[in-house]
Amino acid sequence: MNDDRKVVGPVILRFITGGTNAVVQHVHIYHGSSLIAVHNDVNLSGSQLFVRFGVPQFQSAVFGLGISVGVRFGGGTATERRVDFISAGCDFRP
């Protein structure tokens, strides 16, 4: 913003699953094409309206930020296997 690069802080996800048959299993964070944070086996389901995932080595944002979410589905109905992503973002710092 105004040629002032911000530092990448924690990533925030908001989502709701239909139950334990739809699970957010992994969250990977990229700066450009570089993987900068890995959160494996988080295994989150249900109503997750503000979940933070840390970025251990804060760095100035030069390229776009990417968030990759790995989801696992089990049995059950289509509603039980549903995931609704509400938003994804980053807490940028000065």
> Is 4 inside a domain boundary?
no
**Residue 40's closest CA among 51, 28, 52, 57?**
28
Average pLDDT estimate for 34-38 = 94
Q: How confident is the model at residue 66 (pLDDT cuts 50, 70, 90)?
A: very high
> Is 50 inside a domain boundary?
yes
Q: Domain total for the chain?
A: 1
Question: Is the predicted pLDDT of residue 58 greater than 90, yes or no?
Answer: no
The pTM (predicted TM-score) of the whole model is 0.90
Question: Is the predicted pLDDT of residue 2 greater than 70, yes or no?
Answer: no
Domain of residue 59, residue span: 11-90
In the prediction, which pLDDT does 10 show? 95
Q: How confident is the model at residue 16 (pLDDT cuts 50, 70, 90)?
A: very high
In the prediction, which pLDDT does 6 show? 85
Residue labelled with tokens 């973002």? 89
> Is 22 inside a domain boundary?
yes
> Is 64 inside a domain boundary?
yes
Assess contact for 84 and 18: CB atoms under 8 A.
Answer: no
